[in-house]
Structure 1
Amino acid sequence: MAMSSGMVLLCRLTGRSLGTALGHGRGKTLTARRWYITASAAGNNLQFKLDERTAHSSLDLFKKDTGVIYRMLGIDPSLVQDTPLRFRDWAVVLADTHIDSGRHYWEITVKRSHEFRVGVAEVLTSRDECLGTNSSSWVFAFVQRKWFAMTTGKQVPVPLVGKPDRVGLLLDYKAGRFSLVDTQKAEVVYTIKTQFRSPICPAFALWDGELLSHSGLEIPPGLQ
């Protein structure tokens, strides 16, 4: 399958071949949930932190593990504990709370970043694939001042102009709906429709700048 220049940029690696960007890598998956924190989200007020054990060595967590900064050089991979939880080739980090029911809302503030992805992924998603390139992750990607909805390697343009400092994410697990929200208007911009078959968690990829998550929020009245 030929890749457009935009897709090449969207699938930028941290040291892996272009073939893997298309989902042709080994695709290892975690086989035991015991490797992951399994604190279920209570009610609709999802609250989470980022799980350092999943973070690629180029990502540095801050603000009590609610934010992440991309470091171009990063940490020497040999100095980072190598566990089945960690993303080894992609600048990805997962949240520490899994979701298997309910409607949930959280927001993201992004600074000085030209390329990032925000979304959800199965708790046991492959650590050898990037978010949005497989069938176990659903994300909204920002690159070249444009937004895209991504899953299974397919990208759909999203009509949100520019890069707002803050966006909202609305999840309805049972209905299989994951939406990007314009926080200024409290309106859904685009919804990815799917069927979640296992626990999922908030997921993030970042190739420059920094990202801060805001969880524990009520669903805005206009989105109820």
Structure 2
Amino acid sequence: MALSSRLFLCGRFGRFADAVLLINKQPTVPLTCRCYVAVSQRNQLQFKLDERTAHSSLDLFKKDTGVIYRMLGLDPSHVQDSPLRFRDWAVVFADSRVDSGCHYWEVTVKKSQEFRIGVAEASMSRDECIGTNSSSWVFSYMHSKWYAMTTNKQVPVSLVGKPDRVGLLLDFEAGKLSLVDPQISKVVHSLKTHFPSPICPAFALWDGEILTHSGLEVPSELK
């Protein structure tokens, strides 16, 4: 597929699962934040991935801290029905929401050439993909290049090479999400915005797997 068309689309997922999902789309159900775990007042976010939000092409592993992409995925009719689940896009949210403070977590990347990591409003529509709307802020990796992304607009990020591990630094009050090189504890690029409501760590994946590492202190070099 040409790069221009790939940049416009969120991505691909299970070939058979997506056809069924698009034909039998479920009605939108109002989402609330009551399903998420409240965050500690400390600046040390601890989370797992929330299976109830995971698209049927995504499998969670290692006690729900990692996610792997399955090309064919599961038959959507075999996945437990939930208004929190992403139906059209290979997205999963964390089980914790953030409404204050400064937090840091890392992601290990394994065999993935296309993924997105960042945050999104807990109440974001499950019919959209992270990075394509004003309710999500992500860093996208594809075609061996990084992009900062929101409202479907992409800004190139000068981080060269395929990542093995990256960090995310979130300052809720400042409205800032930063991509971090953990090897040197340096901010590579920052997204500036205003978070109008509680947000969750969010992940999208179209091959390979990623593993999350939460409960980390903010590195002293980044404070």
Both proteins in one fold, TM over 0.5: yes
Question: Are the equivalent residues in 2 in contact too, given 1:149–1:192 (CA < 8 A)?
Answer: yes
Q: Give the Å deviation of 1:162.
A: 1.2
Assess, with a 3 A threshold, how the Cα gap between structure 1 residues 210 and 154 changes in structure 2: closer, same or farther.
same
Partner Cα distance (1:155, 1:94) in 2: 21
Match for residue 33 of structure 1?
Answer: 33
Structure 1 residue 221: deviation in Å? 1.3
Q: Which residue of 2 is the match for residue 4 of structure 1?
A: 4
Please say if 1:115 is aligned against 2:114: yes
Deviation of the 1:11 alpha carbon: 1.9
Give 1:187's aligned amino acid. Answer: K
- The answer for the alignment partner of 2:63 in structure 1 is 64
Tell me how far apart the structure 2 counterparts of residues 114 and 33 of structure 1 sit (CA, whole Å). 32
Question: 1:191 maps to which residue?
Answer: 190
Secondary structure in 2 matching 1:4: helix
Are positions 1:156 and 2:155 aligned together? yes
Tell me if structure 1 keeps the 8 A contact 2:93–2:200: yes
2:51 equivalent to 1:49: no
User: 1:169 — aligned with what?
Assistant: 168
Q: Tell me, which stretches of 5 or more residues in structure 1 are unaligned?
A: 21-25
Partner-residue secondary structure (3-state), 2:7: helix
- Separation in 2 of the partners of 1:129 and 1:4? 19
1:160-212 per-position Cα deviation (integer Å, ceiling 9, x unaligned): 00122000000000000000001111100000000011000100000000000
Q: Does 1:124 align with 2:120?
A: no
Q: CA RMSD in A?
A: 2.0
Equivalent pairs counted in the alignment come to 213
SS at match of 1:127: coil
CA distance in structure 1 between the aligned counterparts of 2:80 and 2:27, rounded to whole angstroms: 21
Query: What SS does the aligned partner of 2:71 have?
Result: coil
Partner residue in 2 for 1:82: 81
Distance 1:118 1:150, change over 3 A: same
Q: 1:108-141: CA deviations, max 9, x gaps?
A: 0010001000000000011000000000000000
Contact 1:29 1:124 in 2 (8 A): no
Taking structure 1 as reference, are residues 73 and 62 closer, same or farther at Cα in structure 2, changes over 3 Å only?
same
CA distance in 2, matches of 1:5, 1:184: 34
**Deviation at 1:76?**
1.1
CA distance in 1, matches of 2:10, 2:194: 24
> Which residue matches 1:211?
210
1:88-113: CA deviations, max 9, x gaps? 11000000000000000000001000
For 2:61 and 2:28, the matched residues in 1 are separated by 29
The 8 Å contact of residues 29 and 126 in structure 1, kept in 2 or not, is answered as: no
Alpha carbons of 1:189 and 1:27: their partners in 2 closer, same or farther (altered >3 Å)? farther
Indicate how the Cα distance of structure 1 residues 134 and 52 shifts in structure 2: closer, same or farther if over 3 A, else same: same
- 2:31/2:83 contact within 8 Å kept: no
Q: Secondary structure at the match of 2:81?
A: coil
CA–CA separation in structure 1 for the residues paired with 2:27 and 2:117: 21
Once the two structures are aligned, what percentage of the paired residues are identical?
Answer: 67
C-alpha spacing 1:29/1:189, structure 2 compared with 1 (3 Å): farther
Q: What residue identity is the alignment partner of 2:121?
A: E
